[in-house]
């Protein structure tokens, strides 16, 4: 594969080249990994940046409808939008019932939108690495907004928040004043909460839910990266395409404020340092995943279990057989 040519095509917004590059960075093959690193290194020098928006919401809140409506509104404004999914559970559950492109039919046909479904990987570390790389590819391909969607399984929100500039939490109207069992940790990473389905019979309930969350957000500790009034809760109807442009205005205002006050740069730098440290640790431990290393671990584990040598001696023997490069 000609990496220089692939790189140039991506920079000139070639969608097929982008799709090929994503397949490359998702590959586990050593030669593909080397090519992917070369490609990402080349593209990084362009320093193109999109607005990265993380989005979480449990099944049933209308996430697909929201992404489709929100994405189409953005492309109508002349913006280019990429949608990525982070779903570490998809491998276990055999993938989404419907593929992401089927879920977002209109958006997937939009020439200014690019939708990439979640790959089949169970390992959250692998998902995180792949998502970081795909975001970098989308930024190089000159997308203005990258939406990173997660279903909120286990730690996936934290991973997405560590990749995003802004984090959106999508909720459905709830009965009474219950807070839908949203974990405190998720509340703390949300920048804007959108109560979806504020339409028809559900509109009053959406209003109450929105008020409940506005109250709950005011009780959270003030974060230095927030201007007055943030984080905030708002109502939207993805179905009736209501409130979407207001939500976008809020997100842009927040983004501009953070850029002007240095928080945006600081956060991207912190994220880069964090993922670099994670990558070093994971690559170190990945040496234990090769078939040879596994076989050697099993043999040495047996000899330790049989008392033939001490744990420390066996560990030292194991480490001498590894080559970190």
Q: Note the residues at the interface with a copy of itself (CB under 8 A).
A: 36-37, 40-41, 44, 47, 132-133, 136, 268-270, 272-273, 275-277, 279-281, 283-285, 287-288, 297, 300-302, 304-307, 309-316, 318-320, 322, 324-325
CB of 305 to a copy of itself, least distance (A): 4
186 vs 297, beta carbon nearer a copy of itself: 297
d(CA 74, CA 194): 17
Tell me how far, at minimum, the Cβ of 37 lies from a copy of itself, in Å: 5
Cβ atoms of residues 73 and 147 within 8 Å: no
- Comparing C-alpha atoms, which of 161, 134, 164 is closest to residue 39? 134
Query: Which is nearest to 169 in space by CA: 56, 86, 54?
Result: 56
Cis peptide before 231 (omega within 30 of 0): yes
Question: What Rg, from alpha-carbon coordinates, does the chain have?
Answer: 22
Is 19 or 288 the residue whose CB approaches a copy of itself more closely? 288
Q: DSSP letters of 179-210?
A: -TT--HHHHHH-SEEEE---SGGGHHHHHHHH
Token pair belonging to 250: 């809020």
Nearer to a copy of itself, 224 or 325 (CB): 325
Contacts of 244 (CB under 8 A, 6+ apart): 69, 70, 73, 236, 238
Cβ–Cβ < 8 Å for 121, 27 = no
Q: How far is the CB of 278 from a copy of itself (least distance, A)?
A: 9
Task: Map tokens 């389905």 to a residue.
Answer: 197
Torsion of CA 36, 38, 43, 49, to 10 degrees: 60
Closest approach of a copy of itself to the CB of residue 308, in Å: 8
Minimum distance, C-beta of residue 270 to a copy of itself, in the bound complex (Å):
8
Which residue lies nearer to a copy of itself by CB, 218 or 261?
261
CA atoms within 13 A on the CB side of 226: 17
Query: Min. distance of Cβ 319 from a copy of itself in angstroms?
Result: 5
Closest separation between CB of residue 174 and a copy of itself, Å? 29
Phi, psi of 57 (to 5 degrees): 175, 135
Which of 128, 161 has the CB closer to a copy of itself? 128
Minimum gap (Å) between residue 216 Cβ and a copy of itself? 26
CA 52 to chain centre: 9
Give 1 or 311: the residue with its C-beta nearer to a copy of itself: 311
How crowded is residue 288: how many other Cβ atoms within 10 Å of its Cβ? 12
């Amino acid at each position: 594969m000609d990496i220089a040519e692939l790189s140039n095509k991506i920079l000139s917004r070639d969608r097929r080249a982008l799709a090929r590059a994503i397949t490359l960075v998702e590959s586990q093959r050593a030669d593909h990994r080397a090519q992917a690193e070369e490609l990402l290194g080349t593209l990084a020098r362009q320093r193109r940046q999109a607005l990265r928006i993380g989005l979480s919401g449990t099944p049933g809140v209308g996430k697909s409808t929201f992404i489709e409506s929100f994405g189409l509104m953005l492309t109508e404004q002349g913006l280019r939008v990429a949608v990525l999914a982070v779903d570490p559970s998809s491998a276990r559950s055999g993938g989404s019932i419907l593929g992401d492109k089927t879920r977002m039919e209109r958006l997937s046909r939009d020439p200014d939108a690019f939708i990439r479904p979640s790959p089949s990987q169970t390992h959250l570390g692998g998902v995180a690495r792949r998502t970081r790389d795909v975001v970098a590819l989308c930024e190089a391909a000159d997308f203005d907004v990258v939406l990173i969607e997660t279903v909120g399984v286990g730690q996936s929100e934290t991973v997405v928040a560590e990749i995003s500039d802004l984090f959106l939490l999508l909720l459905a109207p709830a009965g009474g004043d219950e807070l839908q069992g949203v974990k405190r940790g998720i509340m703390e990473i949300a920048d804007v909460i959108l109560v979806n389905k504020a339409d028809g019979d559900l509109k009053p309930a959406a209003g109450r839910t929105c008020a409940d969350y506005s109250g709950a957000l005011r009780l959270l500790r003030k974060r230095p990266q927030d201007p007055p009034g943030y984080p905030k809760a708002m109502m939207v109807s993805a179905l009736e395409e209501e409130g979407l442009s207001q939500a976008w205005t809020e997100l842009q205002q927040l983004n501009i404020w953070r850029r002007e006050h240095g928080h945006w740069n600081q956060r991207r730098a912190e994220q880069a340092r964090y993922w670099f440290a994670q990558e070093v640790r994971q690559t170190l431990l990945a040496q234990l995943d090769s078939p040879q290393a596994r076989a050697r671990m099993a043999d040495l584990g047996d000899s330790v279990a049989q008392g033939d040598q001490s744990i420390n001696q066996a560990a030292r023997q194991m480490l001498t057989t590894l080559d970190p490069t």
